[in-house]
Amino acid sequence: LRYTRPGTSRPQISQVTRRRFLVAGVSAAISGIALAKGSAVVRAGSGRPGTDLAGEPLMEPPIRSSSGGLLQTSLEARTVSHQVGGRNVLSNVYERMFPAPTLHVRPGDTVKLHLSNQLEDITNLHLHGFHVSPSGNSDNVLLHIHPGESFDYEYHIPADHPAGLYWYHPHFHGLTTPQVFGGMAGAIIVEGDIDQIPGIEGARERLLLLHAIQLKGDSPIAFFDRNQVNFLRTVNGQLNPTFTIQPGETQRLRIANVSDSTWFWLKLDGHRMHQIAKDGNTYKRLVPRDDILIAPAERVEVLIQGGAPGSYSLRSLPFDQGFAVLPETVLATMVSQGSPVASAPLPSSLIPFNDLSKATVDRRRVITWQVLPRDDPQRANFLINNKLFDEDRVDIIPLLNSTEEWVLQNPSNVFHPFHIHINPFQTISVNGKPVDANSYEDTVSIPPRGEVVIRTRFLDFTGKFVFHCHILPHEDGGMMSVVDVVAPNDPLASTAVNAEGTNAQLLNSLRGNLFTCPVASSS
């Protein structure tokens, strides 16, 4: 046995010492790497963290683009020493770099992706926000890719897939936090219709991946303690990098929060941000904003127009996450310089979406997000509807093509960013107040002691996938559930309500085929 699921038994001693990581005890400091001791690492100088190399030009990760309808690429997961804000950091990353390479694809493309696991732990891969099959070697987060193994993923992106900003990260339950926290994250850009809208077309694009990492003293080892607030908040792995704009020029910023558990509350001094997209879904209209709160895993795209010559800070304002108040920080600096250009008009209406607020709801469910008092640090205490995650249980069985309304209730004192795989949703109300949605999204924060109502359609794909809290220590602690979308002619469909909450193997024997994990036999 390589791995013990949280909540079912205590992690084996050898695993605890090997990983220096308590799966369920989120109050414990955890390391962002699998094996730190004995690794040869160049120690960073004694410079105050956060000051080194501030003001360097913004760097963007290398781009890998599809051509002729195919993107064939590979990602190697490995624990290496790399640079964060001018310091050496030892952590888990893809392709020996953070952020990982940016993948560029188009609707209708096929992606063939070879994942090689050179970590000391199990991993796997998730395309966050993608509307693709959740089964087999597609976006299947129930796969376990063991150390030393590799796996060939293949994704078929539908021809009508929304264009915008997505991201990829590992998703093995129990170890998602240290792997993402260490820096296993990269952007995926789906090119398409939004890029041709006048006012957006041709605008200079910049990718800003927001992440937060912690180091302890001079140690280069990524270190996680959520009771501490001394996170280094980085943009593309840099501390306060600089980018330029000409006065009057329109630029398109694609911004993703790829941190494991940190909110970013963005404000750009002296400028309005004109939001055009959320979570890869184009807005129906341009929405001017003075500030934008971005929960873990959320993405926004904004247009900005350069102001009078000068330097402007892109800040993250102080925000009370419920478990920690992060102080204000300057994330990046925008310098407006050079010859002024006449500002092109901004677009007003963008791309409409199929509004579900008036749709007929086939099924309504109440889903409760619970944090239990932390009495035993070894005990997982993050539940959904009184249950810890169990990949062998199916919690919800929606019918293919049905419309469901979910009431997400949060009786706890902290935010839970709700995220569901495969199908985006429309937010209908927050704390009882109707929301005039601008687009679908794939992540929404449920406020402390609050309630969010969403509607979604389970289109195109049957099979099992998950929804969860995107505070990754909550997800690893058990706050995740399994959905199994079935076709109306599936034998399960008629018994769906009674079958929910039962063992996945029983359900599959009802269907006459036994559940097998494609790579379980190799462990």
First and final CA of the chain: distance in angstroms? Answer: 9
CA 356 to each of CA 35, 211, 360, 385: distance values in angstroms, whole numbers, following the listed order = 48, 33, 8, 25
Grouping H, G, I as helix, E, B as strand and the rest as coil, residue 136 is: coil
Q: Which of residues 30-89 bind ligand C2O (CB under 6 A)?
A: none
Q: Does 165 bind Cu ion (CB under 5 A)?
A: no
Taken in order 35, 103, 195, 207, the sign of the CA dihedral is: positive
Give the nearest distance from C-beta 475 to ligand C2O in angstroms: 7
Nearer to ligand C2O, 293 or 317 (CB): 293
Is residue 8 within 8 Å of 24, Cβ to Cβ?
no
Report the alpha-carbon distance of residue 255 to residue 64 in Å, rounded: 18
Q: Does 474 bind Cu ion (CB under 5 A)?
A: yes
Segment lying near Cu ion (by CB under 5 A), choices 5-13, 40-48, 123-131, 145-153: 123-131
Q: Does 419 bind ligand C2O (CB under 6 A)?
A: yes
Q: Does 468 bind ligand C2O (CB under 6 A)?
A: yes
| Binding-site partner at residue 471 among Cu ion, ligand C2O, none, CB < 5 to 8 Å by type | Cu ion
Nearer to ligand C2O, 254 or 419 (CB): 419
| Binding-site partner at residue 367 among ligand C2O, Cu ion, none, CB < 5 to 8 Å by type | none
Segment lying near ligand C2O (by CB under 6 A), choices 85-93, 116-124, 324-332, 463-471: 463-471
Q: In what order do the strands lie in the sheet with 463-469?
A: 443-446, 416-420, 463-469, 480-485
Q: Does 278 bind ligand C2O (CB under 6 A)?
A: no
Nearer to ligand C2O, 329 or 443 (CB): 443
Q: Which of residues 387-426 bind Cu ion (CB under 5 A)?
A: 416, 421
Give the nearest distance from C-beta 232 to ligand C2O in angstroms: 22
Nearer to ligand C2O, 89 or 180 (CB): 180
If we measure between CA atoms, which residue out of 226, 149, 237, 144 comes closest to residue 185? 237
The CB density around residue 197, as the number of other CB atoms within 10 Å, is 16
Report the alpha-carbon distance of residue 295 to residue 443 in Å, rounded: 8
Q: Which of residues 123-162 bind ligand C2O (CB under 6 A)?
A: 126, 128
Nearer to ligand C2O, 301 or 475 (CB): 475
Distance of CA 52 to the CA centre of its chain: 28
Q: Using CB under 6 A, which of 19, 226, 421, 464 touches ligand C2O?
A: 421
Q: Which residues pair with 367 in a beta bridge?
A: 408
Give the nearest distance from C-beta 420 to ligand C2O in angstroms: 8
Q: Which of residues 295-354 bind ligand C2O (CB under 6 A)?
A: 297
If we measure between CA atoms, which residue out of 117, 105, 155, 116 comes closest to residue 134? 155
Give the nearest distance from C-beta 243 to ligand C2O in angstroms: 26
Structure tokens at 204: 């200079």
Do you know the residue count of the chain? Answer: 523
Grouping H, G, I as helix, E, B as strand and the rest as coil, residue 221 is: strand
Grouping H, G, I as helix, E, B as strand and the rest as coil, residue 493 is: helix
Pairing of β 325-326 and β 319-320? antiparallel
| Binding-site partner at residue 173 among ligand C2O, Cu ion, none, CB < 5 to 8 Å by type | none
Report the alpha-carbon distance of residue 307 to residue 272 in Å, rounded: 10
- Closest residue (Cβ) to ligand C2O? 128
| Binding-site partner at residue 468 among Cu ion, ligand C2O, none, CB < 5 to 8 Å by type | ligand C2O
Number of residues that bind ligand C2O (CB under 6 A): 10
Residues engaged in binding Cu ion (CB under 5 A): 128, 416, 421, 469, 471, 474
The residues of the shown chain that bind ligand C2O, judged by CB under 6 A, are 126, 128, 169, 171, 297, 419, 421, 466, 468, 470
